[in-house]
Structure 1
Amino acid sequence: MTNVLSNNTQAILLLTAPLIAGRSEQTRELLTPSEYKRLARHLHQLSKEPADLLASDADEILRQSQAVVDAARLKWLLGRGFALSQAIDRWQARGIWVVSRADSNYPQRLRDRLREDRPAVLYGCGERSILECGGLAVVGSRDVDDALVEYTESIGRLTAKARKTLVSGGARGIDQAAMRGALEAGGTVSGVLADGLEKSVMNRDHRRLLMDGQLVLVSPYDPGAGFNVGNAMQRNKLIYALADAALVVNSDFEKGGTWAGAVEQLGKLKFVPVFVRSTGSASTALTALLNKGAFPWPNPEDADGLVEALAVAPSTTRASALPSQLTLAADDDPSTDATDAPVSPVVPPAPVVLSTTPMPESPEVEMAVATPAASPQPAERDPADDLHDAAKQAILSVLKAPKTIGELVDALRITEGQLRLWLGTLVAEGAIRKTRKKGVLYELPTADLIDLCSAADANDRSGAQT
């Protein structure tokens, strides 16, 4: 864990976290999410914050909170200081960081979209800035055939080539296939886990990706927690909330976490547009999701096509009621939730016609589906593209010889976290390559290096002549 826990976060952990997973005597009295939400609202009304419950004069606050949560129960939970110190040591040894909803660096997308219902605590490992990048969420069932696995891996690779983050849940099947495709193509991935965070961050392959800044894993549940169906269902809304759009590759009809999450997103939450796979074998569940307001996946053939598909997708992000500089230092004011701008309605894409577009890498499997009748007009150039081009030029200019992360940080004078994100996109593009000769090095492909050096020599000679 790379961050120091704030007093607010310590208090929230004591109230809501098991600290020692599997110890029933430590978990039986924990505050449920709804109980903590009520307590947070009550503390705000008292002009207090969670950290005040740890102060020497906390007895009066506990007495005033009796009507919300039993004071004796709160006192017992807050007295678990030794268990908390043990848990912190364990998390820190595994590189797990902790952030609470009272912290300013809590993911803004979860704060804006989930508001009072955002998890009280998030555990994670890896580059936290990836959580603010949006991207494409890809979800689906655990038990799938090889054709769907190959299809989903191709979606992951395309997402990486488009320099978009892949968001998924880390479960067996579709989730892992999407994440694997993106990571193998050098892309960035946000994995929202329902269980086993501690085990996942200790996985050798994951560890390298976490350290290289390609992968971030987060969970609202204790790092040592095992699988729980309810937890798996609840984390789905976090996947959608962290993305710009979502693709449902497959689902069971009217059952399972994928179906429940998609239906909740389409009917209630409406954070992002939901697409469904529009090629391959027919699916009763996907057809039903189309009838509930999902869109057919337009099957982009290249990175530009995927960027365009996401750019024209309807935006359903909630606006924040408070300017960032006015965000409360402790828990946000729950009473401001009702003042948020309403969710923007989902606007359908262009009219559609029937097509039998083959599934990428599986041309033998087809399904009649609705796809856009005509491509939308190209959007104006995104300022992010200009920023990307400038960063790319700066990085290429200092790579006349292979360099380590540290050497690049010194040369470019930017933060390591931001640099890793740029390097990941450039590796995915093929503009640079990453090698492991005596450590991780970044270098230009041979031909590009020759061209760059030749151009530099020519410029030097021209300058000398003048």
Structure 2
Amino acid sequence: MTSILSANTQAILLLTAPLIAGRGTSSLDLLSPGEYKSLARHLRDIHQQPADLVSSDAADLLRACQPVIEETRLQRLLGRGFLLSQAIERWHARAIWVVSRADAGYPRRLKIRLREDSPPVLYGCGDRSLLETGGLAVVGSRNVDDSLIDYTMTIGRLTARAGRTLISGGAKGIDQAAMRGALEAGGKVSGVLADSLEKTTMNRDHRNLLIGGQLVLVSPYDPSSGFNVGHAMQRNKLIYALANASLVVSSDLNKGGTWAGAIEQLNKLKFVPVYVRSTGESSSGLESLRSKGALSWPNPQDADSLESVLEADIPSQAAFSQPDLALFSGDGPLDVLPTLQSALGTSPEVQSLSESAPPAAVPFDEPGETVPEPTIVVAQEPEAKPDGVPLLADTVSAPADTLFSVVREVIQLLLKTPMKEAEVAAALEVSNSQAKAWLLRLVDESVIEKQKKPARYIVKQSRLFESEMATRPRID
């Protein structure tokens, strides 16, 4: 993390964060998530953004926010600039980064799935891009016997062999066993902590993993905060929101964070399939979850089998490709256009798409960032050859075909070395389901091929040879 934060992030921290364990500010003064949500909506409605609250001429804006948050309270919170500078210096010294919901780097899965309920600020350490890769969430009770610890570590190792990210909560018991199994097998792990982020990142065992990009630790709570039951309950939705599928290894009945998180997922959020352990000694908690809609874990034995579980057709994943769910600039499916432009330069097809875009719509949540509207391209009558027959190359493609013609070139560049579906999706900044559709289309066209064990895609050697020959200088 650099010591420079966006103006919006600084304002949101002043409003919502205790800043070094709350020194200098009563926790009662801080805006709660619900209060900040109301303030963000109000700022959006009056076409302002959090950064405007700390501008030199913010007096009128603070008064305009009086119906939502008392003006004197806002002034008191926003006046903590010196405390914020101390906190930033402390976080920077510990390699802790901070990202707010107003930043483009905020995890897209949280923005899209949790919408206004996504945490205003996230603190983290390690490779933030791991939060975009999806994977398997593994959760369970703290107090379990050795047999369940061994079982859970096996799940972690299998996830690593499949090349998928394991997501868990970092608590002792099942969470730590799953993470340890994946890390010891060389896999990658996203840990969503409810407390003690700073202390955990300073652990000697974690530092090399964090620095090496194998582990990322993230929390919506101040890095110095201690354990809080409410925080532990609330962070569960983040674990599910970052995943493709989830496995509950153990759970009490009608109590505890594991139970509450699984019930919320089954009954309300429904982001991903919830599986429950189906081997070994069962429990009343697992049986009850199964009766409420949880699925029996299919016990995959190899990487391909686990990949099939994670790539199952999940209705909620369609949200990643729906433009009307985009919240901020860069959240919609047309976000691929800047990525393609940077990879290929500005092709005529991309240029025509970007220039024909209408004015940006009002953003859903954080002011200051905009949501692109769908682009409409009007087809023109193709010119005809002298004999009256139009050239196929001269016809104007539909927008989807125009986009895919550019995507095809980018994917071929990416797949000169084997990549997994999730890695392609992350590189293009699109959903896994969109990346999969493009990849399968290219497989059908014999442009790329799918390898097994582990499942990866690569350009066919004949295509790669043709590409290299086309770019090789001629010798006359």
Query: What TM-score, normalized by structure 2, do the two folds share?
Result: 0.70
**Counterpart contact for 1:8–1:330, Cα < 8 Å:** no
C-alpha distance in 1, partners of 2:89/2:287? Answer: 49
Residue aligning to 1:219: 219
Residue aligning to 1:391: 417
Q: Quick one: structure 1 residues 76 and 13, their matched pair in 2 at CA, closer, same or farther if it must change by over 3 Å?
A: same
**Counterpart contact for 1:141–1:250, Cα < 8 Å:** yes
SS in structure 2 of the partner of residue 299 of structure 1: coil
Q: Work out whether 1:127 is the aligned partner of 2:127.
A: yes
Deviation at 1:205, TM superposition (A): 1.1
Deviation at 1:281, TM superposition (A): 0.3
Residue aligning to 2:231: 231
SS in structure 2 of the partner of residue 4 of structure 1: coil
Deviation at 1:24, TM superposition (A): 6.6
Residue aligning to 1:154: 154
Deviation at 1:28, TM superposition (A): 2.7
Equivalent residue in structure 1 for 2:366, among 329, 332, 335 = 332
SS in structure 1 of the partner of residue 68 of structure 2: coil
C-alpha distance in 2, partners of 1:171/1:328? Answer: 40
SS in structure 2 of the partner of residue 217 of structure 1: strand
Q: Quick one: structure 1 residues 93 and 177, their matched pair in 2 at CA, closer, same or farther if it must change by over 3 Å?
A: same
Residue aligning to 2:251: 251
1:311 counterpart letter in structure 2: E
C-alpha distance in 1, partners of 2:364/2:4? Answer: 16
Deviation at 1:314, TM superposition (A): 2.9
Q: Quick one: structure 1 residues 215 and 327, their matched pair in 2 at CA, closer, same or farther if it must change by over 3 Å?
A: farther
C-alpha distance in 2, partners of 1:320/1:266? Answer: 25
**Counterpart contact for 2:65–2:71, Cα < 8 Å:** yes
Alignment of 1:243-322 (within 5 A): 243-312=243-312, 314-317=314-317, 318=319, 319-321=322-324, 322=326
SS in structure 2 of the partner of residue 222 of structure 1: coil
C-alpha distance in 2, partners of 1:315/1:177? Answer: 30
**Counterpart contact for 1:3–1:98, Cα < 8 Å:** no
Residue aligning to 1:54: 54
Residue aligning to 2:42: 42
SS in structure 2 of the partner of residue 124 of structure 1: strand
Q: Work out whether 1:105 is the aligned partner of 2:131.
A: no
Q: Quick one: structure 1 residues 105 and 284, their matched pair in 2 at CA, closer, same or farther if it must change by over 3 Å?
A: same
Supply the RMSD in Å over aligned alpha carbons: 2.7
C-alpha distance in 1, partners of 2:294/2:413? Answer: 33
Deviation at 1:392, TM superposition (A): 4.8
2:205 counterpart letter in structure 1: D
Q: Quick one: structure 1 residues 68 and 22, their matched pair in 2 at CA, closer, same or farther if it must change by over 3 Å?
A: closer
2:366 counterpart letter in structure 1: D
C-alpha distance in 1, partners of 2:413/2:97? Answer: 29
**Counterpart contact for 1:237–1:265, Cα < 8 Å:** yes
SS in structure 1 of the partner of residue 167 of structure 2: strand
**CA deviation digits over 1:273-313, x for unaligned, max 9?**
10000001021111111111111000011111111122225
Q: Quick one: structure 1 residues 61 and 134, their matched pair in 2 at CA, closer, same or farther if it must change by over 3 Å?
A: same
Deviation at 1:209, TM superposition (A): 0.1
Residue aligning to 1:136: 136
1:260 counterpart letter in structure 2: A
C-alpha distance in 2, partners of 1:119/1:312? Answer: 28
**CA deviation digits over 1:382-414, x for unaligned, max 9?**
x99999974259xxxxxxxxxxxxxxxxxxxxx
C-alpha distance in 2, partners of 1:180/1:288? Answer: 28
- Give percent identity, aligned residues only: 64
Stretches of structure 2 that go unaligned for 5 or more consecutive residues are: 327-331, 336-359, 374-407, 420-426, 428-452, 455-476
SS in structure 2 of the partner of residue 266 of structure 1: helix
**Counterpart contact for 2:95–2:125, Cα < 8 Å:** yes
SS in structure 2 of the partner of residue 99 of structure 1: strand
C-alpha distance in 1, partners of 2:252/2:216? Answer: 28
Q: Quick one: structure 1 residues 112 and 327, their matched pair in 2 at CA, closer, same or farther if it must change by over 3 Å?
A: farther
Residue aligning to 2:29: 29
Q: Work out whether 1:11 is the aligned partner of 2:45.
A: no
SS in structure 1 of the partner of residue 125 of structure 2: strand
Residue aligning to 1:342: none
Stretches of structure 1 that go unaligned for 5 or more consecutive residues are: 340-382, 394-414, 416-427, 430-466
SS in structure 2 of the partner of residue 218 of structure 1: strand
